[in-house]
Amino acid sequence: MAKTKDVRAAVEKELGFDPRVDSAHITVSNISGDVTLTGTVPSYPQYLEAANAARRVIGVTGVHNHLEVVLPEGSYRDDVKLATAANNALAQNVTVPDNVEATAEDGNITLTGTVSYGTERAAAEAAIVGLIGVRNVADYIDIAYAADPVDVDLHIQEALDRSALVPDGSDVSADTKDGVITLTGHVRTWAEHDAVIVAAQMAIGVIDVRDNLQITG
C-alpha cells in the first residue's frame, strides 16, 4: 500500500496531468487512502473530472469532493436562460423521458420527473452538466418500475458474471429492498467499482443504488 504522502502527491500529479482540470486552486488531503479535494474550479465538468482523476490513482480508496465551482465572469447565465438551455438539452436527448424537467437557481440545476431506469436518470444528468453557467446539479428524478426483488438480484448477479472487469470469485453481492439495491463486497480498483455500479443501475426496477463496496487497492 502506498504511503499517505505518496498517495497525496500522486493525486496532485494526476490532477496536474489531466488537461480537463485546472488544478491551480485544488488542495488534496489524504488519510490512509481516503482523499479529500478542496478549493475551487471554474466549471462543473472540472468538478466532476477532478474526482475522476483522483479515483484513477493507485492507493485511493475513497474520494470526498468538496470543490466549489466559481464561474468566470463570462460564464454566468441568469436563471431563466439557464433553465431554458437545460430543458432544451433534455428535450434533444432521446434517452431522457419527456417528463423530466430542469429548474435553475444561481447556477444550481435541479432535475425532477419520473423515469423507468437508472440509466435514463444518468442520461438526464449527462445532458446538462456541460452547459455554460452550471455550478451544480441536484438530481431528484424518481424511478418508478414494479419488479420482483429476487429477479433484480439475479439480473445484477448475471451482469456481474458477464463483466470483463469483475473477476471470477468476486464476493460482491446485491440485495434489493423496495427497489433500492445495496451493494457489498470488495473490489480491487475504481474501474471495477464503477463496473459494478453501472451493472446495478441498468437493472429493471432499481430506484437507487447504495454503494457499500470496499476498494482494496
Q: In this predicted structure, what is the pLDDT of residue 92?
A: 96
Q: Where do the domains of the chain lie?
A: 4-69, 75-143, 149-215
Work out the number of other CB atoms within 10 angstroms of the CB of residue 100.
22
- At residue 42 the predicted structure's pLDDT band, cuts being 50, 70 and 90, is very high
- At residue 146 the predicted structure's pLDDT band, cuts being 50, 70 and 90, is low
CATH top class, domain 149-215? alpha beta
Contacts of 32 (CB under 8 A, 6+ apart): 4, 61
Q: In this predicted structure, what is the pLDDT of residue 91?
A: 97
Query: 4-69 in CATH: which number?
Result: 3.30.1340.30
Kindly state the average pLDDT of the residues 103-132: 93
Kindly state the average pLDDT of the residues 144-149: 62
Percentage of the chain with pLDDT > 70? 92
Per-residue pLDDT at 90 exceeds 70: yes
CATH architecture, domain defined by 75-143: 2-Layer Sandwich (3.30)
Backbone angles phi, psi at 204, to 5 degrees: -65, 135
Kindly state the average pLDDT of the residues 184-201: 87
Counting DSSP H helices and E strands in the chain, the numbers are: 6, 11
Contacts of 176 (CB under 8 A, 6+ apart): 149, 150, 152, 153, 182, 205, 206
Averaged confidence pLDDT in the chain: 89
Q: In this predicted structure, what is the pLDDT of residue 150?
A: 61
Q: In this predicted structure, what is the pLDDT of residue 41?
A: 97
Return the higher-pLDDT residue of 22 and 177: 22
Kindly state the average pLDDT of the residues 200-214: 80
Do the domains at 4-69 and 149-215 have one common CATH topology? yes
What DSSP string describes 74-126? GG---HHHHHHHHHHHHHT-TTS-TT-EEEEETTEEEEE-EESSHHHHHHHHH
Output the nine-digit C-alpha cell for 155.
Answer: 439480473
Q: In this predicted structure, what is the pLDDT of residue 3?
A: 57
Q: Which residue has the cell 462543473?
A: 44
- At residue 154 the predicted structure's pLDDT band, cuts being 50, 70 and 90, is confident
Q: In this predicted structure, what is the pLDDT of residue 1?
A: 46
Q: In this predicted structure, what is the pLDDT of residue 72?
A: 93
